[in-house]
Amino acid sequence: MKIEMENQEVTRYLRVYNYYKELILSEKLLPETKLPSIRKGAVQFQVSRTTMESAYLLLAAEGYIISRPQSGYYVTDIAKKQNRITELQKTRKLKKEADIQYDFASFGVDKESFQFELWRRYMKSALRKDERLLSYGEPQGELEFREVLCNYLREKRSVICTPDQIVVGAGVQSLLHILCPLLREREKIAFHNPNYMQGITVFEDYKFEITDDYKIAENGIYYITPSQMSRSGSVMNINERYALIKEAAEKNILLIEDDYNQEFRYFQKPAPSLQGLAAGKDVIYLGSFSKMLLPSIRMSFMVLSPDLQEQYERKKAFYNQTASKAEQIALTQFIRDGHLERQIRKSRKIHLAKANELAAAAKELWKGSCETQIEEAGFRVSLEFESRWSAAELTKKAKEMKIAVIPVGEADGRVKISLSTANVPVHAYREALEKIKEI
C-alpha cells in the first residue's frame, strides 16, 4: 500500500484506485469482499475523505466495486468475467490464426498506416483531465467533440447539421438501438445490402418488416451505403443521388445514409452526401472512425434530422453513453490538430500502393490471363480469371488452404473474387496468389 501511495506521478485518488483495481483483477480481493469505510480508508492511506470517496466512486463507475446503502462498498465478480473473456478471446485468436494464414477477407487497418505513439500521447493527455473523468459521459456525446465533428462533416462531407443533431455511440449498432424507437410510425425498411445482418438484426428486434423491394412503398425506410453500392466499391453518382432524394420526398421515404467508407476514394473526390444534397431533411447520416483510425476505437456517430432530434431530446436523459469519454476527449484534440486528415491521406497512400502491388503480382503470375481492378472504394482488388469452380466453391477451397477471400460471382467459365489488402503483408502476396492459382 505504501509503495503505490508514494508514486508522485499519479494523483492521490488514482493511486488508491490503481491499488484496489490491481488487487481485484489479480483476485487477491475476492467477490463480496467488503472494503474499508471511507473514513477508515482515509486513515489507512493518509488521504482526505474526499480523495478516498473519489477513488471509490471511480471504482464503482467502472464496475470493480458496488455500493450497498447502509452497508458499504463490496468487490464485484468483474475479475472472473474479464478473465473468462480474455481466455475466450485468446482461444478465438489462436483458432483464427490456425485456420487462416492469408486473410484477404477482413477489413482491419494496416499497422504501418497508424501512428500508435501519437495516439498514445493524445490518450495520455485525455487521462490527465481528472475532474472530467470523474463524471459520466454526456448521453449524446461530449459537446466539444460534437462541435469539432460538426465542422469536419460540414467541410469534408457537405453534411448540414448542428452539434445538437449529432449523437455519438460505440459502433453503428448501438446508434440504431437509439434510432429505432424514434421511427415507430414507419413499419417497413429495405436494405440496399441484404447481407448487412448487423443492421437487419436490430430492425428485426424492433419488429420492422424487412423487405427486399428497393422501390419501397410510401412511408418506408431505405438503408443505403452510397459510397459502397457494390462489393467492387461502385459509387452512387450525383444524378442518382438527386433522383433518389426526389423519389424519397415524393413517397415520404426516410433515407438512412451509412457513409462508412466515404473517406477512402482513390480515383475521385467523394460525392456530396445525400444528407447535404437533401438540405438535411429526411436523411439520417451515419459514420464511423473505425476505418479511419482503428477498429478498436469504437466511435461512431449519427446525424438526426431536425424532427427526429426533437423526439430524441425528450428521451436522451434515459440513455447511457456507450463510447469512451477519454477517447472522445483525445479524438477532439486529434482532429483539431489536423492529424485525422493526415491519417486518412497516409492510409490512402499505403493501401493504394499495396493494391497496385497485389494487382501487379496477379498479372505476372497469370501471365495476362487475369483481369485485375483496384476497387473504387476501400482497400480491395478484384481478380477475374478462368476457373471450373464457382466463386463460392473457390472461396471454400481457398479456406481449406488457409486463405480467406471474398466471393463476387462467375460467368462464362470465369470467376471473380475480391481481396482486401489490409491484413496481408506485401511480401506474402506472391505465395498466397500461387495457392489461389493452384486451386
Question: What pLDDT score does 213 carry?
Answer: 62
Average pLDDT score over residue span 225-254? 83
For 23-59, what is each residue's pLDDT tens digit?
988 888 999 999 999 999 999 888 898 889 888 888 8
Question: What pLDDT score does 2 carry?
Answer: 44
Burial class (CB in 10 A: 0-12, 13-18, 19+), 147: middle
376 confidence band (pLDDT: 50, 70, 90) = low
Partners of 410 in the β-ladder: 415
**C-beta separation of 271 from 236 below 8 A:** yes
Question: What pLDDT score does 342 carry?
Answer: 85
When the pLDDT of each residue in the chain is averaged and rounded to a whole number, the result is: 84
Residue 116 CB neighbour total at 10 angstroms: 9
Strands 283-288 and 254-258: parallel
Whether the per-residue pLDDT at 19 is higher than 70: the answer is yes
In percent, how much of the chain has pLDDT > 90?
31
For 164-200, what is each residue's pLDDT tens digit?
999 999 888 889 999 999 998 888 899 988 878 888 9
Residue 16 CB contacts under 8 Å (≥ 6 apart), including other chains: 5, 41, 45, 47, 51, 52, 55
Query: Rounded to two decimals, what is the model's pTM?
Result: 0.68
For 308-317, what is each residue's pLDDT tens digit?
999 999 888 8
d(CA 164, CA 44): 46
d(CA 424, CA 402): 13
Question: What pLDDT score does 81 carry?
Answer: 72
d(CA 416, CA 358): 15
266 confidence band (pLDDT: 50, 70, 90) = very low
Q: If you count DSSP H runs as helices and E runs as strands, how many of each does the chain have, helices first? A: 17, 15
Q: Which three cell numbers stand for residue 416?
A: 471473380
Residue recorded with cell 459537446: 143
Whether the per-residue pLDDT at 270 is higher than 60: the answer is yes
**C-beta separation of 13 from 58 below 8 A:** yes
- Distance linking the first and last C-alpha atoms of the chain: 62
Partners of 406 in the β-ladder: 418
Query: DSSP labels for 332-368?
Result: HHHHHTTHHHHHHHHHHHHHHHHHHHHHHHHHHHHTT
Strands 188-191 and 209-211: parallel
Strands 380-386 and 414-420: antiparallel
Name residue 412's amino acid: D
Question: What pLDDT score does 142 carry?
Answer: 94
Q: Which three cell numbers stand for residue 230?
A: 457494390
217 confidence band (pLDDT: 50, 70, 90) = low
Q: Which three cell numbers stand for residue 82?
A: 474479464
d(CA 89, CA 86): 5
d(CA 412, CA 404): 24
